[in-house]
Each structure stands twice: as C-alpha cells, then as structure tokens.
C-alpha cells in the first residue's frame, strides 16, 4: 500500500484501542503475523495430492501383482494335478487297449467267434474309409479355401485399401461364398450333433446299462432264495436238509435288512436322481474334477472349488458345496451297498460250500448207518453235532456282522466329530477375521474424525485471514481507482491535443491540393472518338516489336509436386491418415514439432511460365 493509502487507512481506524489490532492492520515490524503465500500453499497441496496419487497407484500395482502371483500359483497347482490325472488316464487307456488287442488276438482265429471279429474289423475299416471321405468332403475344402483367401488378401490388400471397384466386387463375392460355406458347415455340425445325441441315447439305454452298468452300480450278482444247486443235492435226512437250506433265507434276510437300513439312513441322497437334479454334463464335469483332488492334497478344498468355478461359472459356491455333500453321501451309500453285495455273495458261496460238505458228510453217515444199523444212535448224535456246527457257524456269522455294524457306526461317529471340529475351527477363524475388520474400521473412523477436526481448524484460520485480506484489498481498490482516473484525464487531454494537431495538418494539406488541382474542360464527344490503343491495334508498324499476348504478366514462384511429396509434414500426415489418427490430439502435437518446408527463393526455384506461342 502506498503512503497516501496507508495514511487514509490509519485515519479510519484511529479509534481502535487494541494495540494488537493496530499492529496487525499496520503490519510494520511484526514478527508474528506474515502475509500468506497462496501460490506456495497451492504448490504444497498439489505436491501432497500427487504423492497420494502416486502411493495409490503403487498400492494398486502391488495388489495387481499379488493377484497375478496368486493366480499363477493356483494355475501351477492345477497343472500338477492335471498332469497326474493325465498320466493316470493315459496308463489306463494303454492298459485297456492292450487288453482289447490281446482279447481280439486270442479269439480272432477261433471257430466260434472268428466271424464276429472279422465283422468287427470290416466295420472298423468301413468307418475309417467313411471318415476319410467325410473329411475330404467337408474339412479339406475349408482348409483349401482358407489358404486361397489368405493368398488373395495378401495379393489385393493395397487395392482394397485404395477402394478398387473390381477388387471390392470380388471381395463381396468372396464374402458371399464364405457365408455360404459357413451355413453349410453349420448344417453339417448340426447333423453331427444330432447323430452324437442319438448315439449317446443309444449307449444310455436300459439294455446297455444292464450289460455295462456304471462303476458305482457294479457289484457282485446275488441270487436270493435257496439255490437250485443246493436243492438238487442228495441228502437222506430231509430234516437236516430243510434246516440247512433255511440258512440261505436267513442270510438273505440279514443282508437285505442291512441294505434297507443303509437306504433309510441315506434317504435324502436317494430322493434325487443319479445326477442330483443337475444337468448330466455338469454332473459329469463335477465328478471328473472332484476325483482329481484327493483328500491328502494340501489346500484341497480351495483348489477344488477354484477349478469347479472355472469349469462351472454358472454355479454358485453354495450350490457346489450342496452338490458335493449330496455326491459324497450318494457315493458312500453306493460303495456300502456294493460292499454289502460282495459280502453277501461271498457268504452265500461259503454257505454253499458248507452245505455241500454237510450233505456229503450226512450221506456218508447214512451209508454207514445202513451198513451198521447198530450205530443209529451214533448217527443221530453226529447229525446233532453237525447241526450244532451249523448253528455255531451261524452265530459266529451273526456276531461278525454285528461287529461290522459296530465298526461302521464308530466310523460314522468319528466322521461326524471330525466334521464338527472343522466347522468349529472355521467359525473361530471367521470370528477372528470379523474382529480384525471391526478394529480396522474403528481405527479408520478415528483417523477420519481427527482429519476432519484439523480441516475445520484450518478452515477457520483461512476464513479469518481472508476477511482481513478483503479489508486490505478494498483500500487498494480505492487507491488504484484514483490513480486510474488521473491517468484517464491525462490521456484525454493528450487525445484532444492530437486531434487539434490533425485538424491543422488537414487544413495545410487541403491548401496544397488547391494549388496543384487540374481543372479539365467538358468534352462529351471524346467518348465516341478513336483511342490511341485502337490505332495501335489496327495500324501495322514494321518497326514496332511483336508482343506475345500469352506471356504471363508476372513470374510465379511455387513448389513442385516432387518437393511437396518430399515434405516431411506431408509424409507424416499421410501416415497418420492411413492409421486413422490425423484428427487426434497426438497428431496435432507431432505435426507442430516437425519443421515445415521453407518457401522457395527466386534464385533457387525454377520459374513456372507458359511457353511462348509464336504466330504461324
């Protein structure tokens, strides 16, 4: 503030009694209050903001790298699992293929099955020839067409860019041909899908399923009731025979009760169909992936659900977990039923062997009784002893079955306890994570409140500074307005003086014009008279030099077409136009940095003139 403004400002606040206010307003010798450098504050704020953005970008980059590393680690583990599964499947394929080849080799030359295997070989040859013909009719033409199209596009790429009508017409015909080929291929694929569905339905028929049941349905064949072979056995003691044969029915009842008990305990698994109300393809994918991850694999559940989510993205994690529980229950039931059937068949075979031995012993005993009639009592005792053996064997068998049932119940109990322990651990882990999240949110809220309080304090300080600055600025405005009025007055006086000088100059010039002005007499007939130019055109003068009327009036200096095409700005603009970037901000910045072509000089460039045409 100038001396005049400072004196006026001091006069207006002379009534202020607070020395601190006087010192603040005057600003002389104050070491506590200093002017605010808003430019520096803005620079500091921009620097802090830039540092914050930079830190945020680094965090995002670290998070992205962490996610990529985690994804790469999971994919590597999936790759190892799939490699093991691939080796296992390859081993099984070679094993079954070698078994089939061995079976065909051993039975191809037999009299009974030789013709059947020859028919198989003929059918295989026919299918191979049909496949080759189908490939030549469908796949090979498409490959040839693809190669031809690539060659044609390579040869006519430039013409297509330039818009040659013939090439564009040919390109339209080619596109129509490609669309026609696509439609034909779509029809062929639809036909193949129909044939595939028909074959799958035929392979999934009841007859083939009964001949080749699934792995979970395979179990030893058990024929209930008393076997015909046992009934046909000879035994002279009919009472013993009836009692022994009743053991088959008792054994059937025991195992049938075990199967019914299993089905009752796992009734929920049997309520759904064999795919768990899923699509057959989705269920097959689920089972194939589930079997690849054994229970002893570390971090098995995470890898399993990650793989399932990749192959079945439409399924949620809850649906996958529920289906897994159902599948494990269903699989356990089928395996237990399979084990019961195997035990059932084994016990029936053992019982059949025991019955044969018993009947043989009874027959021998009866023969001895016929030979030795005096040993009738001994024969009865022997029969009772045999009957007692059968009863003891049955009691032992019942005891063994009870022990197996107890072991199975103990196993189920252990499984339930282990699952309960796992659930409790999972709940504890989730509670810990929830507590950590709540602590983090509370800490974050506290920091936010502290920052808001600091911002409020800074805002109040800024408002007080701005109010004081407004008073100071108002005084400065009045002072500058007075100075501006003085300058305008001086400028107006100078303009008036300049206008007076201009008027005096015009008067002097007008006096000079009056002295040199020519006054001509009026001659209207002059417009109808011949001019000197007309005389010059119609009068032949041998001494007059010939004038070429086609000669240009002046020399024209410009650029040649070669110079224009060699201009770096022109070449750069053509490249950007081909790339479709000539209207972008990047193209403008690049073109502004390139040095333009210098204007031609008269002594360096050739003069473009029209050729003189001499009269014939």
- For residue range 38-75, what is the model confidence (pLDDT) as tens digits? 888 888 888 888 989 989 999 999 998 888 888 888 88
User: Measuring CA to CA, which residue among 606, 608, 610 is closest to residue 551?
Assistant: 610
Q: Cβ distance 348 to 248 under 8 Å?
A: yes
Q: Give pLDDT, residue 565.
A: 74
Closest-CA residue to 5 (of 602, 473, 566, 537): 473
Task: State residue 598's pLDDT score.
Answer: 58
**248: how many CB neighbours lie within 10 A of its CB?**
21
CB 233 within 8 A of CB 359: yes
- 519-563 pLDDT, tens digit per residue, is 666 677 777 777 777 777 776 555 555 556 666 666 666 777 777
Helix (H), strand (E) at residue 394: helix 376-516
Burial of residue 230 (CB within 10 Å: 0-12, 13-18, 19+) is buried
CA distance 166 to 176: 15
Tally of helices (H runs) and strands (E runs) in the chain: 18, 0
- Give the separation between CA 170 and CA 164, rounded to whole angstroms: 10
In the chain, % helix, strand, coil (3-state, to 5) comes to: 80, 0, 20
Task: Decide: helix, strand or coil at residue 187.
Answer: helix
- pTM of the shown model: 0.43
Pairwise CA distance, residues 240 & 358, whole Å: 9
Number of neighbours of residue 307 by Cβ within 10 angstroms: 20
Of 354, 342, 352, nearest to 392 by C-alpha is 354
User: For residue 35, what are its two tokens?
Assistant: 């002017």
Bridge partners of 556? 608
The C-alpha R_g of the chain, in whole angstroms, comes to 55
**Measured between alpha carbons, how far is 462 from 479 in angstroms, rounded to an integer?**
26
Cα 276 from Cα 269, distance rounded (Å): 8
- Residue written as tokens 């001019």? 531
* Chain mean position to CA 141: 34
pLDDT for position 231: 75
The DSSP symbol for 553 reads: S
Give the burial class of 401: count Cβ atoms within 10 A of its Cβ; 0-12 exposed, 13-18 middle, 19 or more buried: middle
| Among 455, 474, 472, 454, residue whose Cα is nearest residue 35 | 472
Residues of the chain under the 50 pLDDT cut: 1-17, 28, 216, 601-616
């Amino acid at each position: 503030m100038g001396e005049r403004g400072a004196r006026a400002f001091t006069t207006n606040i002379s009534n202020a009694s607070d020395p601190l206010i006087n010192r603040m307003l005057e600003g002389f010798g104050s070491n506590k209050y200093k002017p605010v450098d808003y430019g520096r504050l803005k620079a500091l704020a921009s620097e802090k903001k830039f540092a914050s953005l930079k830190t945020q970008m680094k965090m995002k980059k670290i998070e992205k790298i962490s996610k990529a590393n985690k994804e790469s680690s999971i994919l590597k583990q999936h790759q190892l699992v799939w490699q093991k599964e691939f080796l296992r499947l390859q081993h099984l394929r070679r094993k079954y293929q070698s078994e089939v080849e061995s079976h065909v080799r051993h039975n191809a030359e037999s009299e009974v099955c030789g013709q059947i295997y020859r028919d198989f070989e003929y059918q295989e040859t026919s299918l191979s020839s049909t496949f080759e013909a189908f490939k030549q009719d469908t796949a090979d033409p498409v490959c040839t067409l693809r190669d031809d199209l690539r060659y044609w596009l390579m040869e006519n790429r430039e013409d297509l860019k330039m818009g040659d009508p013939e090439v564009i017409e040919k390109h339209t015909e080619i596109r129509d041909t490609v669309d026609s080929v696509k439609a034909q291929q779509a029809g062929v694929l639809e036909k193949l899908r129909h044939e595939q569905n028909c074959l799958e339905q035929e392979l999934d028929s009841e007859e083939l399923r009964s001949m080749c049941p699934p792995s979970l349905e395979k179990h030893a064949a058990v024929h209930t009731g008393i076997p015909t072979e046992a009934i046909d056995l000879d035994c002279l003691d009919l009472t013993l025979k009836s009692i022994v044969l009743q053991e088959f029915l008792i054994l059937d009842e025991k195992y049938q009760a075990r199967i019914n008990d299993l089905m009752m305990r796992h009734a929920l698994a049997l309520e759904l169909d064999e795919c768990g109300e899923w699509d057959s393809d989705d269920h097959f994918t689920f089972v194939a992936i589930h079997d690849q991850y054994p229970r002893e694999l570390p971090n098995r559940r995470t890898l399993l659900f990650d793989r399932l989510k990749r192959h079945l993205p439409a399924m949620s994690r809850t649906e996958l977990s529920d289906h897994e529980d159902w599948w494990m229950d269903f699989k356990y039931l089928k395996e237990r039923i399979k084990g019961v059937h195997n035990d059932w068949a084994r016990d029936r075979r053992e019982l059949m062997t025991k019955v044969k031995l018993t009947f043989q012993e009874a027959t021998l005993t009866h023969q001895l009784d016929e030979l030795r009639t005096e040993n009738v009592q001994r024969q009865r005792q022997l029969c009772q002893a045999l009957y007692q053996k059968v009863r003891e064997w049955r009691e032992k068998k019942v005891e063994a079955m009870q022990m197996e049932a107890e072991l199975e119940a103990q196993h189920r109990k252990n499984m339930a306890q282990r699952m309960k322990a796992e659930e409790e651990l999972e709940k504890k882990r989730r509670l810990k994570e929830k507590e950590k999240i709540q602590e983090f949110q509370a800490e974050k809220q506290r920091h936010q409140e502290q920052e808001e309080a600091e911002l409020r304090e800074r805002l109040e300080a800024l408002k007080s500074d701005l109010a004081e600055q407004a008073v100071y600025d108002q005084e400065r405005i009045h002072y500058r307005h007075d100075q501006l009025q003085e300058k305008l007055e001086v400028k107006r006086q100078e303009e008036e003086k300049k206008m007076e000088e201009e008027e005096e100059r015009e008067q002097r010039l007008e006096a000079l014009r009056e002295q040199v002005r020519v006054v001509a007499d009026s001659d209207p007939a002059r417009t109808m008279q011949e001019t000197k130019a007309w005389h010059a055109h119609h009068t032949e003068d041998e001494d007059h030099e010939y004038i070429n009327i086609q000669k240009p009036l002046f020399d024209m200096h410009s650029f040649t077409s070669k110079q224009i095409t060699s201009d770096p700005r022109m070449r750069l603009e053509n490249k950007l136009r081909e790339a479709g970037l000539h209207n972008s901000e990047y193209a403008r910045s690049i073109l502004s940095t390139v040095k333009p072509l210098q204007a031609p000089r008269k002594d360096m460039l050739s003069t473009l003139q029209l050729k003189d045409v001499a009269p014939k």
